[in-house]
Amino acid sequence: MVGSSGAEAIEPKEIVEALFGFVDKAVAPLEDKHRDLLEDPARIFDERGLTSPEYQDVSRQVRELSAEAGFYTLYGAEELGGANLSATGIVAVQEAMHHKYRPDRILVHESVIPSPFTNGLSPLLLELNPQLLAERIDAIRDGVATLCFALSEPDAGSDVFNLRTKANPVEGGWMINGQKQWISNAAHASHAFVFAVTDPDAVRERRGGITCFFVDTDTEGFSVDTGIPMMGSRGSNATIISLTDVRVSPQQIVGEEGAALRLALGGISRGRLTMSATCVGLARWALDMAVEYANARRTFGRAIGEHQMIQAKLADMAMEIYLCHSAVLRTAEMVDAGRASIKETSIVKARCTEMVGKVLDEAIQVHGGLGLTNELGLEAGYRYARMLRIPDGTSEIQRRTIAKRLLRGDLDL
């Protein structure tokens, strides 16, 4: 069990081993019990493409068990009751989890440990009104209540100054109206960080004017409209949200009025770094699969691993993974040291998300026709890998960020 303090006294390897034990003892039995549900997309997603109440209930059980064991709060700040794991520890855990468990074990990857920024013990909670936080934190920490991060819109992704959702002043606070898109976890979130324009002039001049509000999702006017079917699935965890005359008070402001851009950008580096570690772990899993199959599958009287074409594929996969693993670890050490790492986190996010796509593609190729089936999880990994090049800034946005930092004189590599 990992406690709410002193996690840094425990080596990441020990945390990972304990986490594996928890998954095998607590999560695997639930997976076996609900196998029919977890293998049927029609039961995971309802007719609107949203996660079904049946799936949400199982996910909640995993969250609560994980919270009880101390893993759900692993990435959270100590002030919130979290274990305050370092960036180096987080990437070690993320890589290990995705290396160990095949990508279609959704309960393991979605419910055991939440996002280090947008769900669970999000650092944004530290900016919350103290009374509001005190009323909500226990349920959030225990995995009973979850969060979503409502920033993106149909016309506002990487460029947040394109936001159209507005919070207009009314007696006692504001009235929010607008629509959000690509909002993860909203289907079963209890609370939402909602970003809205409160100063249109400042937004036009690109100098602020966006405020973040903490909104209970059962507030009148807040609705989750639909899940977004993606990459061969009938739904997804990404949703479309509508806000119609949603009333909020000054006590619901997160941070300072008009200064939400700092909050939105504050977690990007850690989010990109965490995603990069996920890519390395998934790629290592795929390489393991490819090597095992190359040793077992025989053609023309010998294992296919003895053919030079297959050997070249395996070697290329290993080289890409090794370089990305090393870069992620170095960047995590920079974050832990408090060094500026905007350029570096963009580098690893772009490189790792592109790398994992190539590795999964080659792993499927090594497996031949078997790689195209659902049996091994490779096609699920391939679809997941392709999606990772989009969220938290596309590969193109990462290159833009890297170039801008270089042109400003940030030439350290």
CATH code for the domain of 236: 2.40.110.10
Segments in the chain below pLDDT 50: 3-5
Same domain, 281 and 230: no
Whether 71 is covered by a domain: the verdict is yes
Same domain, 195 and 178: yes
Same domain, 254 and 272: no
Whether 140 is covered by a domain: the verdict is no
Same domain, 273 and 366: yes
Whether 152 is covered by a domain: the verdict is yes
149 phi, psi to nearest 5 deg: -115, 95
Same domain, 252 and 274: no
Total domains, the chain:
3
Q: Residues 358-403: pLDDT tens digits? A: 999 999 999 999 999 999 999 999 999 999 999 888 999 999 999 9
10 Å CB burial of residue 223 (0-12, 13-18, 19+) is middle
Question: 116, 98, 119: which is closest to 191 by C-alpha?
Answer: 119
Whether 1 is covered by a domain: the verdict is no
Tokens of 402: 């890297």
Same domain, 397 and 296: yes
218 phi, psi to nearest 5 deg: -90, 10
Same domain, 151 and 109: no
10 Å CB burial of residue 242 (0-12, 13-18, 19+) is middle
Q: Of 113, 135, 170, which residue is a domain's last?
A: 113
Whether 228 is covered by a domain: the verdict is yes
Q: Of 53, 88, 113, which residue is a domain's last?
A: 113
| Adjacent-strand bridge partners of 210 | 197, 259
| pLDDT at site 8 | 55
SS3 296: helix
Whether 210 is covered by a domain: the verdict is yes
Q: Of 236, 263, 290, which residue is a domain's last?
A: 263
Q: Residues 37-72: pLDDT tens digits? A: 999 999 999 999 999 999 999 999 999 999 999 999
* Full-model pTM: 0.93
| pLDDT at site 3 | 47
CATH code at position 345: 1.20.140.10
Tokens of 287: 């390489």
Same domain, 285 and 383: yes
Question: 102, 210, 112: which is closest to 166 by C-alpha?
Answer: 210
Task: For the chain, state the CA radius of gyration.
Answer: 22
Whether 118 is covered by a domain: the verdict is no
Whether 68 is covered by a domain: the verdict is yes
SS3 366: helix
Rounded-to-integer distance, Cα 172 and Cα 88, Å: 44
Kind plus residue range of the DSSP H or E element containing 193: strand 191-197
Angle between helices 308-336 and 342-367 (to 10 degrees): 160
| Full domain range(s) for residue 108 | 7-113
Q: Cβ distance 356 to 385 under 8 Å?
A: yes
Same domain, 105 and 190: no
Same domain, 284 and 365: yes
Strand pairing of 191-197 and 147-150? parallel
Same domain, 165 and 245: yes
SS3 240: strand
Question: 289, 314, 304, 296: which is closest to 377 by C-alpha?
Answer: 289
Strand pairing of 191-197 and 173-184? unpaired
Same domain, 319 and 362: yes
Rounded-to-integer distance, Cα 78 and Cα 123, Å: 10
